């Protein structure tokens, strides 16, 4: 039982560190202000019960499992390419969702691997032709889903980048290039209310036009 609790704690800590890395990347690229960062980080620490880890991080170190490394970032601007998503990518997409969204999903619905895999299969069956694997240097690092609905509006579906590749301007670059290709077209998306990615969407011009119990509904280029 003690070993099982230790494993659960390490997984929870890894999720916390991934979320912190996302916040760090948004602060570094200017997507959020220091005030927004401090509030979001404080909420994250409290809700996940990671006060002890936050205290260690406050000493200028970041922890991944038992490894310790400095908080130095790479400033190299990443180049990317898309490749068409295939059914065989389901394990990668599941891992991507787990690392990027598990904290939000677990908090709201609870996380069940079988349920999430089934949901991913359903999503791929419906949207596979619109799902693009993001690559850099030939390595799969994320997913960008984009399609036009029956009204001619453009929708951004699942958009996620592995935490270790965040903070390098890649998400901003993909969004800006997509928006440049769709000037005059309404582009919309939804994002978890507590997902710091909402600040990135605001930075490139998206505004909130509604909300659900769990998500912000955002758009750009509303056509009146």
Q: How much is the pLDDT for 59?
A: 46
Mean pLDDT calculated for residue range 94-99: 94
pLDDT tens sequence across 123-179: 999 999 999 999 999 999 999 999 999 999 999 999 999 989 988 889 999 999 999
Q: Are 168 and 203 in contact, with CB atoms under 8 Å apart?
A: no
Q: How buried is residue 198: exposed, middle or buried, by Cβ count under 10 Å (0-12/13-18/19+)? A: buried
Name the H helices within 29-89: 34-48, 51-57
d(CA 129, CA 109): 28
d(CA 13, CA 53): 8
Residue 107: enclosing H or E segment and its boundaries? helix 90-108
Q: Are 68 and 116 in contact, with CB atoms under 8 Å apart?
A: no
d(CA 131, CA 100): 17
Q: How much is the pLDDT for 92?
A: 97
Q: Are 164 and 183 in contact, with CB atoms under 8 Å apart?
A: no
pLDDT tens sequence across 179-214: 999 998 999 999 998 888 888 999 999 999 999 999
What's the whole-model pTM score? 0.70
Domain edges within the chain? 2-70, 81-220
Q: Among 14-28, 114-128, 139-153, name the one with the lowest average pLDDT.
A: 14-28
Helix, strand and coil percent figures for the chain, each rounded to 5: 50, 25, 25
Domain 81-220 has CATH 3.40.630.30: yes
């Amino acid at each position: 039982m003690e070993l099982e609790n230790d494993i659960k704690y390490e997984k929870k800590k890894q999720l916390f560190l991934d979320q912190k890395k996302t916040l760090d990347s948004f602060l570094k690229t200017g997507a959020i202000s220091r005030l927004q960062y401090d509030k979001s980080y404080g909420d994250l620490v409290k809700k996940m019960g990671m006060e002890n880890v936050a205290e260690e991080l406050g000493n200028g170190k970041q922890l991944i499992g038992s490894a310790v490394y400095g908080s130095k970032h790479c400033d190299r601007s990443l180049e990317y390419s898309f490749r068409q998503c295939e059914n065989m990518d389901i394990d990668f997409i599941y891992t991507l969702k787990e690392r990027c969204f598990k904290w939000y999903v677990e908090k709201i619905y609870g996380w069940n691997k079988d349920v999430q895999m089934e949901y991913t299969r359903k999503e791929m069956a419906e949207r596979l032709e619109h799902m693009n694997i993001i690559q850099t240097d030939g390595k799969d690092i994320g997913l960008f889903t984009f399609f036009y609905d029956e009204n001619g509006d453009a929708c951004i579906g699942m958009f996620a980048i592995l935490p270790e590749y965040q903070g390098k301007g890649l998400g901003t670059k993909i969004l800006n290039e997509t928006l440049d290709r769709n000037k005059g077209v309404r582009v919309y998306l939804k994002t978890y209310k507590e997902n710091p990615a909402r600040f990135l969407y605001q930075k490139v011009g998206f505004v909130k036009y509604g909300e659900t119990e769990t998500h912000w509904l955002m758009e750009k280029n509303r056509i009146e």
